[in-house]
Chains A and B, each alone.
Chain A
Amino acid sequence: MNDPSIETVGMDSLIVRLFDSIDEENMPWMLAADQALRAAFGEALIDLVPSYTTLLVHYDIECLDLQAARARVSDALKGLTPATSGEGQRHVIPVWYDVSVGPELERIAERLGVSPEEVSARHCARDYSVFALGFAPGYAFMGRLDDELATPRLKTPRQKVAAGSVAIAERQTAVYPTLSPGGWNIVGRTPVALFGRDREGYSLFRPGDKVRFEAISREAFIEQGGDPTPLAERGDTPTEAQT
């Protein structure tokens, strides 16, 4: 971890910068900083947004001025020790990998000269860390992907990506929690709901969680409540291939 820098980014917000680059090794420190800052600010905290290398602290200016807020951050980070492993949850996410719901599966397979099954096997072969949540409620940026699977974003984003779509972009992977626009490569679909107002804590994933994908059959997908409607039948516009 670098010496943390505390940067003013607005009237009531600070960015706490802990690292320069994206790395799974950051996560125990990021989790520890998250907990320490929450404790230090208490009621004076309005929002805390961790990302890959930084935490955004939005504090209540009725409680604190800038100097007091900066002092709370530096005090909180003194003697910080990384969170012990296993603090994040582990998730196994069932995925139906199929070209009808994952149109880029075939393209990635062709590029690698392997079968679509081999692509899904590689996607399932490792644990991914949840680095950050953003873009949409419950949308988790996960990494890092096997080098060979790394695929650039689509040149033209889709207007509509179905909920549950499992996606790849560069060395990251993610699942779209709800129907939304999106420019990532879709390789399959999960029947698991990622975000819900009735779910405890709302989001299935949190930064620091570990995720492993598991290939399931179409039958199992439907049995678990999945919607097998092909992506193309959702009024989607075809996107230009990019390899």
Chain B
Amino acid sequence: MTGLRSWLVRRLLLGAGQTVAVVLVVFALTEALPGDAAVALAGDQPDPGRIAAIRETMHLDRPACERLGDWAAGLLHADLGTSLTSGRPVGSAIGDAFGPTLLLAALTLVLLVPAAGGLGVLAARHEGRLADRLISSVTLAVYAVPEFAFGVLLVAVFALRLGWLPPTAVGYGGELLAHPAALMLPVLVLLSRPVCSLTRLIRAGMIDALASPYVAQARRYGIPGARIRYAHALPHALGPAAQQLARTVDWLLCGVVVVEALFVIPGLGTVLMNAVTERDVPVLQGLAVVFGCTAVVLNLGADLVTHRFVPRTGEAA
């Protein structure tokens, strides 16, 4: 397995490089934005003296490269720096927000994989028939609805009209798990689009696999249909699905801004939004590191899965 190991090392190095690049780009872009944290904080009282004072207390008067250097030095001791606007450690702000986002992502994933797998296989088995046409058209239709609209619709019907579920998670903050009802609508909204794309991918992969020579061969050997489908064909369809899944998890973890805003869930997306409006560069940098690392690790995992299930794809790539 030395081949795999060197491949892993190369991938990790590449990933680290990509993360550094993301951080640099985020820093450069935030610097390029008009105004800085002092201006954002001064708001509609842009008293020049006050802005200068804020800038000084925030050390924004120091050159950009110096600030970046300080921050990078801190990073070596696993110190993500201090928020400009609150003066609190960035690490704890991100850590606090990580919990709710992780919870949402995990719940969505737990439901997503069986739902998309089942629907995809079902559609593939009934290719061209009613079940397939129904699944295909519904997934396409739901995929076309923006999350925000879908969320508003769900809230209007299930929370405000029928009163079955709470409309938001306001006030549940840290202990979301204690209020499972408040999680249902957000998870439903989060599920809505990935379930559609994943179902369609698995359906396509399954159809390909079921039509492949090796499945025909297996059939000739008289292997039962269910075993062919799940042991032989499905793994083949999982390669692309794993890649898509990695992207979905990435998207979920990197804070689904819309869902968090709509349902008042204090996760990473909320932190990101606030940090951008406040020009809170250290927080943005910290988030970039977290998002970058997450993306690298997830994609690595997806590639490993592809390696495992569809070795030829990995070799060809």
Q: Does chain A bind chain B?
A: no
Binding site for B on A (CB under 8 A): none
Interface, chain B (partner A; CB < 8 A): none
